[in-house]
Amino acid sequence: MFGVLLPLILVVAAVAALGATGRLEFAHVQVAGQPAAILGEVPGPDAGAACALDAWYVDEPPEGLRPDVLGAWQRLRAEAGEQGVRLCVQDGKRSTGQQQREFTEAVRLFGTPELAGIYVLPPEKSMHVKGIAVDVQPAASAAWVERNGHALGWCRSHQDEYRHFEYDPAYATSGCPAPLPVATGLSEVPGPETGPVCPLDKRYVDEEPQGPRPDVLDGWKRLRAKAEAQGVRLCVQDSKRSVAQQQREFTEAVRRFGTPELAARYVLPPEKSMHVKGIAVDIQPTASAAWVEGNGRAVGWCRRYENEYWHFEYDPAYETGGCPAMLPSATGS
Ligand SMILES: [Zn+2]
């Protein structure tokens, strides 16, 4: 009976998948001794052991990847190991169901599918569901993959995701394609308008850091945990802003100072603000900001401007490469 039933199930499942995606772009995963499975339905691990390099991350077993991708992953990890580099798998395979749960949670957090789609892809678009993507942590290990992965078919595919790599055997011969730009629409994500009073100094507030890029939010949590471990409290005076929020501040500055040129000395227009891009946090009071200036680099946070002791920007490259030279001001004047 199963001789008839199994092919029938596969045909029904394939037609269902075709209806959802418009094309048959997956392979059935054939594992010896196990029934064939539709790749999109193959789950990955929900978690993993702590990453030996940095317990902030996990190191999942790379289960569920397409078999050729798994082989390529093992080659990459072996090559890294030979050079003394350990790679932790923060996330690898996800099933449609796993991705849908993450997407639904993001819609709940951000309000609409359009906003949620900036942070989490719906299942039909996720390369993790297709089983060809791996997120590598910590930052130094991801940087190693970016430099060395293409020879084995692994490339970074997005400018705003230093950790996310996709496999294609063609990359080994033709090199990596240009990374896609940052997710469009991030600049429309607002941050909080204000927050509760900073308990250290009532002139400031302590906003919830909502709306930054997920890796920046992750970096922020690490910074705050590091500060707390040393008995230092950080208040967030300002973090994410949308284009509209930044434009209101800029328009108000133009009204006060008379011209856009004069206003731009004090408030950046939206297209130039790192708060709109979601990579900046303003920290108060002065002593807390000074602590970040002394200790933030180790987790990717650097002060960037001589005239803004409170303004810090996140880039995982700072962890390994150190902070860039400070600029006189954000406005260049
Ligand atoms: Zn700032």
**Which CATH number does the domain housing residue 265 bear?**
3.30.1380.10
For residue 181, name the pLDDT band (cuts at 50, 70, 90). low
Quick one: 34 and 167 in the same domain? yes
Mean pLDDT, rounded, of the chain: 84
Q: How much is the pLDDT for 37?
A: 64
- How far is the centre of ligand 1, averaged over its atoms, from the C-alpha of 189 (Å)? 17
Examine the fold and report which residue of 146, 174, 202 is the final residue of a domain before the chain moves on.
174
Quick one: 69 and 206 in the same domain? no
N-to-C CA span, the chain:
79
pLDDT at 26 over 80: no
Please tell me the least confidently modeled range out of 8-17, 41-50, 223-232: 8-17
Number of domains making up the chain: 2
- How far is the centre of ligand 1, averaged over its atoms, from the C-alpha of 156 (Å)? 29
Which domain does 207 fall in, by range? 187-321
pLDDT at 259 over 70: yes
Between the alpha carbon of residue 65 and those of residues 14, 88, 133, the distances in Å are 19, 15, 8
Would 27 be classed as within a structural domain? yes
Quick one: 133 and 196 in the same domain? no
- How far is the centre of ligand 1, averaged over its atoms, from the C-alpha of 330 (Å)? 9
Q: How much is the pLDDT for 185?
A: 62
- How far is the centre of ligand 1, averaged over its atoms, from the C-alpha of 298 (Å)? 20
pLDDT at 199 over 70: yes
Quick one: 170 and 194 in the same domain? no
Quick one: 137 and 113 in the same domain? yes
Examine the fold and report which residue of 174, 201, 229 is the final residue of a domain before the chain moves on.
174
Q: Which long-range contacts does 98-105 make (Cβ < 8 Å, 24+ apart)?
A: 98/43, 98/44, 98/46, 99/123, 99/126, 99/128, 99/129
- How far is the centre of ligand 1, averaged over its atoms, from the C-alpha of 196 (Å)? 18
Q: What is the pLDDT of residues 272-306, one digit of tens each?
A: 888 988 899 999 999 999 999 999 999 999 999 99
Mean per-residue pLDDT for 26-37? 54
User: pTM for the whole thing?
Assistant: 0.65
Q: How much is the pLDDT for 4?
A: 44
Examine the fold and report which residue of 149, 174, 199 is the final residue of a domain before the chain moves on.
174
H helical segments located in the chain: 2-21, 67-82, 96-110, 113-119, 139-148, 169-174, 214-229, 243-257, 260-263, 274-277, 286-295, 316-321
Quick one: 168 and 217 in the same domain? no
Quick one: 224 and 304 in the same domain? yes
pLDDT at 27 over 70: no
Q: How much is the pLDDT for 271?
A: 78
- 283, 292 Cβ separation under 8 angstroms: yes
For residue 30, name the pLDDT band (cuts at 50, 70, 90). low
Q: What is the pLDDT of residues 45-58, one digit of tens each?
A: 888 899 999 888 89
For residue 31, name the pLDDT band (cuts at 50, 70, 90). low
Quick one: 152 and 82 in the same domain? yes
Quick one: 207 and 297 in the same domain? yes
Would 53 be classed as within a structural domain? yes
pLDDT at 110 over 80: no
Would 333 be classed as within a structural domain? no
Quick one: 47 and 112 in the same domain? yes
- How far is the centre of ligand 1, averaged over its atoms, from the C-alpha of 197 (Å)? 18
